[in-house]
Amino acid sequence: MGRAGLRTALTAAVAALLLAGCTGTTEPDRGTDGSEPAPVASVPPSDDGTPDDSEPDDGTSDDGAGAPGDGTPDPTAPATETAAGPPFAADTRPDTAEPTGEGETFLSVTDVRVARHDGYDRVVFDLDGTGSGRPGWRVEYVDEATDDGSGHAVQVDGDAILRVSLSGTAAPTDSGVEEFAGDRIEPEDTESVDEVVYRYWFEGYTTAFLGIDEGERPFRVFLLENPTRVVVDVRH
């Protein structure tokens, strides 16, 4: 073999060795379209080593006391007159609610109770009758107390007069229960409510007047059920 043939043989041998050295390398896996694989995101562990997939705290709580976080009373709370109501309003504007079950529910006020609580006086109107509807109300301060229908003045002791008008109520002949027979209630240990004057049912409405000491005070109104009660709280 001449020098030219030897040089050709050596070149071929070197190329073969280089090719053999490359056969141990691997290419990264790719998708079928030749793209790089997507990175895998890891979830940071919580303090106990488990993935933290909890929801953020939205400030609500499920404690059974009405709508979460809004202070609304549970309408199916036990029959207790210590049940908490919504926050007192910052003013003395009227408070209203519409009745339900019109034409199918007939309720009458069967008792009116007054008691002093820490920070407020509470007046409770107990209702009973037929149907599953709820009473409504309009509670507001008025310049004078007058009877529905006749317009006759009603004497109420106090520096301000809070008128309570319960709607969705009925005559005893329709409700099937006896209406509250009282007239004036003069509580002894209250601070805000001097007197409650009950004025009976008239054409779908039951009216009472609360005599408030030292002028208009903030109040709140809400419904409790089982049994049905409309509660009026007047702040001290």
Over residues 54-64, the pLDDT tens digits come to: 333 333 333 33
- pLDDT over 70 (residue 32): no
Question: pLDDT: is 151 or 218 the higher one?
Answer: 218
- pLDDT band for position 34 (50/70/90)? very low
**pLDDT for residue 154 is more than 80:** yes
Q: Is the pLDDT of residue 133 over 80?
A: yes
pLDDT digits (tens, 9 = 90+) for 6-18: 444 444 444 444 4
Pick the CATH number of 113-235 from 3.40.462.40, 1.25.40.10, 2.60.40.3500, 3.40.640.10: 2.60.40.3500
Q: Above 50 in pLDDT, residue 150?
A: yes
What percentage of the chain has pLDDT greater than the value 70?
Answer: 66
Q: What is the pLDDT of residue 57?
A: 33
Rounded to the nearest 10°, the torsion over CA 164, 170, 175, 178 is: 60
- 108 CB contacts (<8 Å, ≥6 apart)? 127, 128, 129, 169, 170, 171, 172, 175, 177, 178, 179, 180, 201, 206
What is the average pLDDT score of the chain? 76
Q: Sheet with 136-142: list strands edge to edge.
A: 95-97, 136-142, 160-167, 205-212, 193-202, 184-185
**What average pLDDT score do residues 122-128 get?**
97
What is the pLDDT, as a whole number, of residue 149? 80
- pLDDT: which is higher, 108 or 90: 108
- Predicted confidence (pLDDT) per residue in 162-181, tens digit: 999 999 999 999 999 999 99
User: Residue 218: its pLDDT value, please?
Assistant: 97
- Report whether pLDDT(106) > 80: yes
Please report the pLDDT score of residue 66 as a whole number: 35
pLDDT, residue 81, reads: 66
pLDDT value at position 170? 96
Where do the structural domains in the chain lie, given as residue ranges? 113-235
> E strands of 42-105, at which residues?
95-97
Alpha carbons within 13 angstroms on the beta-carbon side of residue 101 total: 16
**Of 188 and 125, more confident:** 125
Among 214, 129, 124, 211, CA closest to 163: 211
Core vs surface per residue 104-140: b (16+ CB within 10 A) or e: ebbbbbbebebebeeebbbbbbbbbbbbebbbbbbbb
- CA–CA gap between residue 77 and residue 65 (Å, rounded): 8
Beta bridge partners of 235: 120
Centre a 10 Å sphere on the Cβ of residue 190 and count the other Cβ atoms it contains: 21
14 compared with 97, residue with greater pLDDT: 97
Confidence of residue 79 (pLDDT cuts 50, 70, 90): very low
Question: Is the per-residue pLDDT at 236 higher than 60?
Answer: yes
With cut-offs at 50, 70 and 90, classify the pLDDT of residue 151.
confident
Are 180 and 206 in contact by the 8 Å Cβ rule? The answer is: no
